[in-house]
Copies of this chain bind each other. A is one copy, B any other.
Amino acid sequence: MADTDRGALPPATSRSSYALWTADTLRYGDTDRQGHVNNAVFATFCESGRVSFLYDEALDLRGPGANFVIARLELDYRAELFYPGSVDIGTRVLSIGRSSFRLGQGIFSGERCAATAECIMVLVDDATRKSQPLTAHLRAWLEARLAR
């Protein structure tokens, strides 16, 4: 997967760097015995942020007979989250490959950045369970949202 140069991108910890947004509600059950939101729930927030558009039926980005599978997740934990409250999850497109693409994400509690993340998503054929080229529709949609 060829990465574009990200040296000049807006900072991952700023809300203004993200164009795609989702909100999630913190649950009491998200907490663990340390009193804060459990670290694995952050991976769920990242998922909430990306599937909100990847599986949006009106957008139909995946095309028929295909699904998105995550290949890699990098999560930088920057601040604890505490119940009650909500989070806003911002997402941007970092790079686009042949059958995969890289997203950048920020998890925010108000203006405070609780975590930043990057993930590589792969388009997978439901029948063969193998990667397949991004559809032209998906590619165009991602390119229009490529972070600069």
Give chain A's interface residues, CB within 8 Å of chain B. Answer: 23-25, 27-29, 31-36, 38-44, 46-48, 51-52, 55, 67, 69-77, 80, 83-84, 129
What is the oligomeric copy number?
A: 4
Give A46's nearest chain B residue, CB to CB: B40
Chain B residues with CB under 8 A of A25 = 23-25, 48
B70 touching A72, Cβ below 8 Å: no
B residues in contact with A40, CB < 8 Å: 29, 40-41, 43-44, 46-47
Shortest CB distance A16–B (Å): 24
- Pick from B31, B52, B129: contact of A84, CB below 8 A: B52
Contact partner of A77 (CB less than 8 A), chosen from B38, B46, B70, B80, is B70
